[in-house]
Amino acid sequence: MTIDATGMHYQELCRRVKDAAAQGAVQVTGLMGQRYIGSGVSGADITLRGTPGNALGAYLDGGCIQVWGNAQDATGDTMNGGKIIIHGSSGDATGYAMRGGKIFVRDSTGYRAGIHMKAYKDKVPVLLIGGRAGNFLGEYQAGGRIVALGLGCGGQAPAGDFCGTGMHGGEIYLRCDTLPDDLPPQVVARQASDADLESIRADVARYCALFDQDCASILSDRFFVLRPDRANPYKQLYTHN
């Protein structure tokens, strides 16, 4: 089913998308900032053309949302499962508190991407950014994996200031020649080993297949992996460590 969202209020659009998604694949055209699209949807394929608004795919529990364009803030807010694919850039707080599923962003993200990401048992969320992330990448990260490939960054660190601030779980992978010079003291960073890269290989390969990039070339470059220091002062504040 195809829905023309031109001039449609976001509440009406979200209702129609959920109803249609229960029946099969959905395509939405004419998007211009309508928010909460795909919120709580499970097991449907949703194709969006235009610019969806904030909280795209919030609480997504399965299926795939694909955006042919840019997305605004809080894409994948608290998502549980499924995939979100952005053929463009995504705004601030992409992957906010996501606890499952995968987000692939072809280009860049705004501030606080991956903030409060978490993992539990076999649920390991992944946020993969093709370009560069803004300040506070992985702020208060508690689990999952963030990968910033830095395509087009010329070897510079693909993250803004304060990367990993408050991080107490999970991993951040940065493809670059040198690390940011302002990493917080509770983060331990080192060059990624072959074993480290093996844990992201399948997701990088998926990104490259989606966006026509050379996976072998990307993975042959230098990556750094950031993890929380076991003695970091934030860990004691959480009941599950």
CATH code, 159? 2.160.20.60
219 within domain boundaries: yes
74 within domain boundaries: no
Across the 241 residues of the chain, what is the mean pLDDT of every consecutive 10-residue run? 94 94 92 94 93 96 96 97 97 97 98 96 95 96 97 94 93 95 90 96 98 97 93 56 48
27 within domain boundaries: no
Structural Rg of the chain based on CA atoms: 17
pLDDT value, residue 57: 96
- Estimate to the nearest angstrom the gap between the alpha carbon of 123 and the chain centroid: 15
13 within domain boundaries: no
pLDDT value, residue 236: 55
| 166-177 b/e (C-beta count within 10 Å ≥ 16 → b) | bbbbbbbbbbbe
Closest C-alpha to 114, from 122, 124, 207, 202? 124
48 within domain boundaries: no
Which range marks the domain in which residue 193 is found? 89-237
Which pTM was predicted? 0.94
143 within domain boundaries: yes
CB 182 within 8 A of CB 159: no
pLDDT value, residue 49: 96
pLDDT value, residue 23: 87
72 within domain boundaries: no
The amino acid that residue 142 corresponds to is A
**Domains in the chain, number:** 1
Whole-angstrom Cα distance, residue 37 to residue 54?
A: 9
From residue 141, give the alpha-carbon distance in Å to each of 25, 65, 114, 168.
33, 24, 7, 6
168 within domain boundaries: yes
CB 47 within 8 A of CB 29: no
174 beta partners:
148, 224
